[in-house]
């Protein structure tokens, strides 16, 4: 009897431990439905194992030593010949005690970045989960990290976006939050965060934006610094008008947020209605002269092709090989300075004051930017004149109207997408009859009316599309009004020099580029192959417009049999009939396409100043000066060819 009872008990225990699938005594789909006992048991087993693993990892994780900023690597930029151009790598950071940071600044940062900072566990599980999912999908991580997590990433971890790094960030953040006071974490965060302008930490940022120590920041200024923490590329108000609007909106929101969280009274908030404009950014002395402008162009291209941010660049360790040729940069700078010294007299002629020059030189065969002139000195004049969008192209835009009219008349065919870059062409004979002939005459001997009429006839949208296909940026295009055809658009010198290569390359355009190779820690960064050419217009159209532009060049520079004078094969320019406060010359040869822009701008005046009288009464509203700069530069960097026997005369 006792033996039977013990056997029954053993059988009962066996049944309780066994996974009963398919289940006995059930029919149909119910046979494969696990019992609640099985589900709850497995859940408890999984939860226990996960908790055990979490505890084990938490115990094993040790807080490493902070990054040694002295070991931070420089980012080095190289000339096209491989020699070093400039090394940028000193970490601009000055640590301060939390007591030296005004409470209002602390409150602004907490309100903007992590309002529950003083009560949270140090991590945002949802933020980490979202980041892990995005990393697994190959997407960029989104915001949502706590201040503690950001401090851990800044101080102990790399910036790599990997699942392993996010998991390590989780455990380190929990451990640091449990072992250290929140005030210490906040102090560390404020001293290690990136504020843009090469500034790490609130003290360096305070000097960079306002020229004062952090201890002197007022609540309004503190709110602006809290705003740029979201990303200086998008929120530094000095970088662009769009940035300014974003910064102003976020600055206002942060002040309002402090009222909502109770760290600022409504009465205090009402005092801050005027946006605290920061001072202009200052480049380090290592970027004096043209170097800062070259770095600016390289960085823009670098970020557009790879997604690398300013913060990552400031972190250092990059080797950036550029297309810039040292001798050509020096020659272009000398040419600008020579013409300015010879033709401008700002001390005695009011019209010669506030004159700016921007220039860019591009290799037609592949689109490489070999030289540029961005202004007098990058550490004094911050705007890069070679890459600014705000100077009307005026008559220098007309070739694209002429080309659009010819495309309508001749038609165009699309070549295969993989078609190779073409060899430089010989222009079609001048005198070819066609209905678009009046535009040719109006291009050589400047006349606006035919271009206005042509724009109406063929449609301004088609003109714009061809100009953009040739390399001008969509955002630089003006409103599609009748004056559009006579150059109200504002392309940069880089873009105009590049677009003109389309006429010498049988109608194919190539995106201008300035970086050939990027490496970090010995590994090559992808995305820096040469841009491929694309069809912008038919070869016939390019040849016909090119023939007209050759006459423009001869009228501007020659004709002359002086072997030292290099007459451009193709050239566009503004003339005395233009009234758009700019003077341009674009000279394109098989070796180089170089654009030169001259304009006047005063810091406290939003509109360009008039060009009438610049360079004296015979300068044609300044239009005579850019060709002189082009000539002085080209004579040095391009060997003069023999005088062509079939050089065009004075009349088309």
pLDDT value of residue 170: 77
pTM value surpassing 0.75: no
pLDDT at 560 over 60: no
Distance separating alpha carbons of residues 320 and 263, to the nearest angstrom: 45
Other residues' Cβ atoms within 10 Å of the Cβ of residue 23: 15
User: Up-side HSE of residue 438: CA atoms within 13 Å toward CB?
Assistant: 9
- DSSP letters spanning 438-492: HHHHHHHTT-SHHHHHHHHHH-HHHHHHHHHHHT--GGG---SSGGGGGT-----
Cross-strand bridge partners of residue 572: 586
Q: Which helix (H) or strand (E) holds 4?
A: helix 2-17
pLDDT at 485 over 90: yes
pLDDT at 142 over 50: no
According to DSSP, the β-strands at 515-520 and 570-573 are: unpaired
Give me the domains of the chain, ranges plus CATH numbers. Answer: 2-60 (no CATH), 93-121+174-269 (1.10.3810.10), 362-514+525-637 (3.40.710.10)
Tens digit of pLDDT for each residue in 267-319? 999 999 999 999 988 877 888 899 999 999 999 999 999 888 887 887 788 99
Average pLDDT over residues 254-263: 95
- % residues pLDDT > 90 (the chain): 53
pLDDT at 537 over 80: yes
According to DSSP, the β-strands at 75-78 and 318-322 are: parallel
Task: Kindly list the distances between the CA atom of residue 92 and the CA atoms of 72, 194, 205, 279, in Å, as whole numbers in the listed order.
Answer: 11, 10, 9, 17
Residue 160's SS3 state is: coil
Q: How many helices (H) and strands (E) does the chain have?
A: 22, 12
What are the phi and psi torsion angles at 271 (to 5°)?
-75, -20
For residue 172, count CB atoms less than 10 angstroms from its CB and return exposed for 0-12, middle for 13-18, buried for 19 or more.
buried
Distance separating alpha carbons of residues 648 and 154, to the nearest angstrom: 65
490: closest CA among 356, 582, 627? Answer: 582
pLDDT value of residue 427: 37
Distance separating alpha carbons of residues 42 and 17, to the nearest angstrom: 12
Task: Kindly list the distances between the CA atom of residue 251 and the CA atoms of 91, 221, 227, in Å, as whole numbers in the listed order.
Answer: 27, 9, 6
pLDDT value of residue 35: 65
What are the phi and psi torsion angles at 413 (to 5°)?
-120, 145
End-to-end CA separation in angstroms for the chain:
126
597: closest CA among 7, 614, 589, 292? Answer: 614
612: closest CA among 572, 573, 577? Answer: 577
Distance separating alpha carbons of residues 53 and 99, to the nearest angstrom: 40
The DSSP 8-state label assigned to residue 61 in this structure reads -
The more confident residue out of 41 and 486 is: 486
Q: Which of 7-11, 179-183, 397-401, 585-589 shows the lowest mean pLDDT across its residues?
A: 7-11
pLDDT at 510 over 90: yes
Distance separating alpha carbons of residues 90 and 73, to the nearest angstrom: 8
pLDDT at 412 over 50: no
- % residues pLDDT > 70 (the chain): 76
pLDDT value of residue 52: 54
pLDDT value of residue 389: 85
pLDDT at 640 over 70: no
What are the phi and psi torsion angles at 136 (to 5°)?
-60, -30
**Alpha helices by DSSP H, 262-373:** 266-269, 291-306, 310-315, 326-343
The DSSP 8-state label assigned to residue 423 in this structure reads P
Q: In what order do the strands lie in the sheet with 583-588?
A: 368-373, 355-363, 593-600, 583-588, 570-573
Find how far residue 339's CA is from the centre of its chain.
Answer: 31
Distance separating alpha carbons of residues 464 and 304, to the nearest angstrom: 23
Residue 524's SS3 state is: strand
Find how far residue 76's CA is from the centre of its chain.
Answer: 19
Distance separating alpha carbons of residues 616 and 622, to the nearest angstrom: 8
């Amino acid at each position: 009897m006792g033996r039977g009872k013990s056997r029954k008990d053993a059988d009962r225990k066996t049944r309780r431990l066994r996974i009963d699938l398919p289940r006995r005594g059930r029919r149909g789909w119910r046979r494969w439905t696990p019992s609640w006992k099985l589900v709850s048991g497995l859940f408890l087993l999984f939860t226990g194992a996960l908790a055990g693993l979490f505890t084990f990892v938490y115990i094993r994780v040790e807080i490493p030593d902070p990054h040694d900023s002295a070991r931070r690597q420089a980012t080095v930029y190289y000339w096209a010949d491989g020699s070093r151009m400039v090394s940028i790598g000193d970490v601009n950071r000055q640590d301060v005690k939390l007591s030296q940071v005004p409470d209002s600044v602390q409150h602004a940062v907490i309100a903007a970045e992590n309002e529950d900072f003083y009560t949270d566990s140090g991590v945002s599980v949802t933020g980490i989960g979202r980041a892990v999912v995005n990393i697994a999908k190959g997407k960029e991580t989104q915001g949502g990290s706590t201040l503690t997590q950001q401090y851990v990433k800044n101080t102990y971890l790399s910036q790599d976006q990997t699942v392993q790094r996010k998991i390590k960030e989780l455990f380190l953040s929990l451990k640091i939050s449990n072992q250290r006071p929140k005030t210490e974490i906040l102090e560390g965060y404020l001293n290690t965060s990136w504020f843009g302008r090469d500034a790490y930490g609130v003290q360096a940022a305070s000097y960079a934006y306002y020229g004062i120590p952090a201890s002197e920041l007022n609540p309004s200024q503190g709110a602006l610094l809290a705003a740029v923490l979201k990303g200086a590329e998008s929120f530094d108000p000095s970088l662009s008008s769009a940035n300014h609007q974003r910064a102003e909106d976020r600055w206002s929101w942060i002040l309002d947020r402090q009222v909502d969280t109770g760290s600022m009274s409504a009465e205090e908030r009402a005092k801050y209605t005027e946006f605290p404009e920061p001072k202009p950014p200052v480049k380090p002395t290592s970027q004096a002269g043209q170097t800062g402008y070259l770095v600016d162009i390289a960085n823009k291209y670098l970020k557009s092709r790879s997604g690398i941010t300013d913060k990552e660049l400031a972190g250092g360790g990059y080797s950036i090989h550029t297309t810039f040729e040292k001798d050509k940069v020096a020659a272009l700078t000398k040419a600008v300075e020579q013409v300015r010294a010879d033709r401008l007299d700002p001390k005695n002629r009011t019209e010669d004051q506030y004159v700016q020059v921007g220039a860019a030189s591009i290799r037609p065969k592949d689109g490489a930017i070999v030289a540029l002139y961005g202004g007098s000195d990058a550490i004094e004049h911050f705007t890069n004149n070679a890459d600014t969008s705000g100077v009307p192209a005026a008559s220098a835009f007309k070739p694209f109207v002429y080309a659009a009219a010819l495309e309508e008349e001749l038609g165009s065919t699309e070549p295969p997408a993989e078609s190779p870059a073409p060899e430089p062409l010989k222009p079609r004979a001048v005198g070819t009859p066609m209905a678009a002939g009046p535009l040719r005459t109006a291009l050589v001997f400047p006349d606006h009316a035919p271009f206005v009429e042509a724009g109406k006839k063929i449609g301004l949208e088609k003109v714009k599309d061809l100009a953009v296909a040739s390399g001008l940026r969509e955002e630089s295009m003006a409103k599609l009004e009748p004056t559009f055809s006579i150059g109200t658009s504002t392309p940069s010198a880089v873009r105009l020099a590049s677009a003109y290569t389309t006429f010498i390359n049988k109608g194919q355009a190539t995106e201008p580029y300035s970086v050939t190779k990027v490496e970090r820690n010995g590994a090559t960064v992808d995305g820096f192959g040469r841009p491929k050419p694309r069809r912008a217009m038919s070869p016939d159209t390019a040849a016909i417009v090119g023939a007209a532009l050759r006459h423009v060049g001869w009228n501007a520079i020659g004709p002359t049999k002086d072997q030292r004078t290099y007459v451009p094969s193709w050239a566009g320019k503004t003339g005395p009939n233009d009234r758009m406060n700019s003077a341009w010359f674009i000279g394109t040869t098989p070796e180089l396409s170089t654009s030169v822009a001259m304009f006047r701008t005063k810091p406290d005046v939003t509109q360009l100043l008039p060009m009438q009288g610049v360079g004296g009464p015979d300068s044609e509203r300044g239009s005579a000066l850019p060709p002189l700069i082009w000539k002085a530069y080209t004579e040095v960097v391009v060997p003069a060819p023999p005088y062509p026997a079939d050089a065009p005369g004075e009349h088309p």
